Homo-oligomer: A and B are copies of this chain.
Amino acid sequence: MKYVMAVIKPFKLDEVREALIAIGASGLTVSEVRGFGRQKGHTEIYRGAEYEVSFLPKIKVEVAVPDELAERTVEAIQKAAATGQIGDGKIFVYELSEAIRIRTGETGSEAL
């Protein structure tokens, strides 16, 4: 199994979710993160003093998939999340040693 983790632009979440469902992912987990990268942050102004906010709001999407689905998952995310502009984010893929469904105790791909 593979664990696919993507950092994307917040407003792309709905599209990514739909793309993942379309290819058969059974679930996903998302969280709010802040990212620093090529895309520059903005300047906030505070009582006349400028302050560089270096981190931008991003959404992290995590989805565990069987090995055979991994490639399609990455493709689906990439297509759905891309705007072509700097700051679109990254996709990272890891090996997943084991997965367990808490409710039933099922393991492996069945647990996903």
By a beta-carbon cutoff of 8 Å, the part of chain A in contact with chain B is 2-3, 6-8, 17, 26-38, 54-55, 58, 60, 64, 74, 77-78, 81-103, 105, 111-112
Contact = CB atoms under 8 A, between A and B. Distances in A.
A97 B2 contact: yes
Nearest to A89: B102
A47 to B, nearest CB: 20
A46 to B, nearest CB: 16
30 contacts: A2-B97, A6-B102, A7-B29, A8-B102, A17-B36, A27-B38, A27-B90, A28-B35, A28-B36, A29-B34, A29-B36, A29-B60, A30-B35, A31-B31, A31-B32, A31-B34, A64-B90, A74-B100, A77-B102, A78-B100, A83-B103, A84-B103, A90-B99, A90-B101, A90-B111, A91-B99, A92-B100, A93-B97, A93-B98, A94-B96
